[in-house]
Structure 1
Amino acid sequence: MSGSTKHPISLVGFVVTLVGAVLFSTKAIIVKLAFAGTHTDALTLLTLRMLFALPFYVVAAFAVSSRSGNVKLTGKEWVLVLALGVLGYYLSSLFDFIGLQYISAGLERLILFLYPTFAVFINAYFFKQKISGVQRVALLLTYVGIGLAYFGELAIDSSNPNFYFGSFMVFLCATTYAVYIVGSGRVIPRTGPTKFTAYAMLAATGGIFVHFAIMGETANFQAQNGLWLYGLLLAVVATVIPSFMLSYGLKSIGSNNVAIISGIGPVSTIIQAYFILGEKIVMEQIIGTALVIAGVILIGWKRKPTPVLEEVTA
């Protein structure tokens, strides 16, 4: 049976989602710094990230499961939550970390930012979820802005033999993360954001640990030039805090709006890459940044009067 649930764009939901997107955008910067400053590989760095994040999600899972109002999930719901965790935080993160070894942070953001488009159209095609006029305008502004902002990045030297492989890995990341965004947006109203995030991340952590046990080298864990610090920063700043923020946003304002507001992420990465990694900012990026911010503000400006998103729940 189907129903309709509307999501007004609340100020709190808007701000929490915005901050979460900015924190998530620090991930590419930290990963590039780790690769440049150490001799680590993608799997080792990803394993460290989840190793440090694990205690937070164990505590969160225990806390929500101990509450009197805890929702008991069916077997089908458990499978869905765990599958989304593996897809959205294990596979997508692995693809992304591998890709970042071969392409710049700016180009990674360009490719990865395809995921909001995927999420919006997955909802529209599979769940017959209407794309509102406000969302259409915001998407147009955001993607025109992203295209302009990364115009210079598209001219990157592609003579690197792993350039196309790295780009393809990040494309896979965008695809799997879009599926996660859509799926979690439909499961969270039933499970609650904290419980969903905790168990999805535990499932992802399990997948990463199994992967490392089979293919990883424990010698790579040797502390070298701040490797463990990079892992800690990735865990807390770029994983734990923003994952709970975006899960809250998914419940309070809906997956389409989270996808659009997250457009601020690439803009944040451009600024961080300029100051931290020394990447150049060109005029196209400045104009594109203004358009992206305009799209984000448009979503926030429409937060009070009426809901702008309808979700169909199974």
Structure 2
Amino acid sequence: MSQNAGTAPQQIPPRPALAAGLAIAIGAAVLFSAKAVVAKLLYRYQIDAVTVIAFRMLLAVPVFGAVALWQMRTKAPLAPRDRWRILGLGLVGYYISSMLDFLGLQYISVGLERLLLFLTPTFVLLMTTFILKRHISGGQWIALAASYCGIVLVFAHDLAGGGPKVVTGALLVLGAAFAYALYLLFSGELVERVGSVRLVAYAMCVASAACIVQFFVLRPAAMLVQPMPVYWLSLVNAVFCTILPVFMTMAAIGRIGAATVSQAGMIGPVSTLFLGALVLGEPITAVQLAGTALVLAGIYMLTNKKSTV
């Protein structure tokens, strides 16, 4: 999923560190975005979202579990309230959000999916306004308007060719973006107390357990037997589209800061558009490019505002 932008002003790192950090951040954004393309390839083997996400988590959880155990051994025990918060955040931010995203991908193009997920910062901003009663500046309203106009443009374009299924898929992915925005909004204080590595490792373990249990409740165990391409694509999904980008993002934040990483992540929707055309044969039109440009412009304006998050 999308990364949160930092708010505090940061010193500009040395040029070599900045270049390395940007390269890592861009690589992470492209890998995160490639998840949608891999999911589309998996759906060609007649498996559903429940199975796709179960394979993803089955293959990813050993790594996150190992990191969680390392954190348990080297850090002080969590307070009971933090355990419950991590449980809730893991379920909302990684289980519910991922499940809705993979369900939506069954109905819409990877380009529209990535743009809808990229609205997460706008949801965070709106929630901080209505829940935390923070003020939205005129510039931020313009940024929101640009982002949503871009989405409407791409959505209308895809709706003309996809029909009612596009509405269903878009609503599911919007739900995923909203769920992840809740995770970002309520994880800030917790990150400061327990650390980002610990929080992500624990939350991913919670989400993995939920996805795996869900699979065995809803699907027969025989569905674990799949053609070899399904296993290889699932391994790519787990390693290159989940594990690596998570830790690459953390490494990039350590080098260049969260705000710069967030801005570098804007390459994600663009890379998804072109990966979808290259791998899946999804067409790229002038309307899609215009809508993508509007969304990116709006998000760029938001991530440059100190009061965004």
**Smaller-chain TM-score range?**
0.7 to 0.9
Quote the Cα distance in structure 2 between the aligned partners of 1:280 and 1:9.
42
Alignment-derived partner of residue 230 in structure 2: 227
Are residues 1:181 and 2:184 paired? yes
Are residues 1:65 and 2:72 paired? yes
**SS of aligned partner of 1:279:** coil
Cα displacement (A) at 1:48 = 0.5
Quote the Cα distance in structure 2 between the aligned partners of 1:17 and 1:185.
20
CA RMSD of aligned residues (A): 3.4
Are residues 1:24 and 2:32 paired? yes
Per-residue CA deviation, residues 200-224 of structure 1 (Å, 9 max, x unaligned), is 0000011112212211222112131
Per-residue CA deviation, residues 254-286 of structure 1 (Å, 9 max, x unaligned), is 6x8876664432222111111111111112333
Are residues 1:114 and 2:119 paired? yes
Alignment-derived partner of residue 103 in structure 1: 108
Q: Identify if the C-alpha distance between structure 1 residues 125 and 16 changes in structure 2 by more than 3 Å, giving closer, same or farther.
A: farther
Alignment-derived partner of residue 169 in structure 2: 166
Q: Identify if the C-alpha distance between structure 1 residues 53 and 130 changes in structure 2 by more than 3 Å, giving closer, same or farther.
A: farther
- 1:267 is matched with which residue: 270, 280, 284? 270
38-47 vs 180-189, which moves further = 180-189
Quote the Cα distance in structure 1 between the aligned partners of 2:302 and 2:188.
18
Quote the Cα distance in structure 2 between the aligned partners of 1:185 and 1:119.
12
Q: Which aligned pairs between 1:1-314 and structure 2 lie closer than 5 A?
A: 6-8=8-10, 16-36=24-44, 38-67=45-74, 70-128=75-133, 145-148=150-153, 152-158=157-163, 162-246=165-249, 253=257, 262-290=265-293, 308-309=306-307
Quote the Cα distance in structure 2 between the aligned partners of 1:191 and 1:291.
37
**SS of aligned partner of 1:185:** helix
Contact 1:54 1:205 in 2 (8 A): yes
Quote the Cα distance in structure 2 between the aligned partners of 1:239 and 1:23.
8
Contact 1:6 1:309 in 2 (8 A): no
**SS of aligned partner of 1:226:** helix
Q: Identify if the C-alpha distance between structure 1 residues 110 and 296 changes in structure 2 by more than 3 Å, giving closer, same or farther.
A: closer
Cα displacement (A) at 1:249 = 6.9
Cα displacement (A) at 1:9 = 7.7
Cα displacement (A) at 1:64 = 2.3
Contact 1:116 1:259 in 2 (8 A): no
Q: Identify if the C-alpha distance between structure 1 residues 153 and 40 changes in structure 2 by more than 3 Å, giving closer, same or farther.
A: same
Contact 1:34 1:40 in 2 (8 A): yes
Quote the Cα distance in structure 2 between the aligned partners of 1:116 and 1:221.
36
Gaps of at least 5 residues in structure 2 are 1-6
Cα displacement (A) at 1:130 = 5.7
More helix by share: 2
Contact 2:97 2:176 in 1 (8 A): yes
Code of the aligned partner of 2:31: L
Q: Identify if the C-alpha distance between structure 1 residues 24 and 118 changes in structure 2 by more than 3 Å, giving closer, same or farther.
A: same
Contact 1:30 1:234 in 2 (8 A): yes
Gaps of at least 5 residues in structure 1 are none
**SS of aligned partner of 2:107:** coil
Q: Identify if the C-alpha distance between structure 1 residues 136 and 156 changes in structure 2 by more than 3 Å, giving closer, same or farther.
A: same
**SS of aligned partner of 1:233:** helix
Cα displacement (A) at 1:113 = 3.2
Contact 1:35 1:101 in 2 (8 A): yes
103-112 vs 228-237, which moves further = 103-112
Code of the aligned partner of 1:121: L
Alignment-derived partner of residue 4 in structure 2: none
Code of the aligned partner of 2:8: K
**SS of aligned partner of 1:127:** coil
Contact 1:152 1:282 in 2 (8 A): no
TM-score (norm 2): 0.80
Contact 2:153 2:291 in 1 (8 A): yes
The number of aligned residues is 296
TM-score (norm 1): 0.79
Per-residue CA deviation, residues 225-256 of structure 1 (Å, 9 max, x unaligned), is 501111111111111122334456789856x8
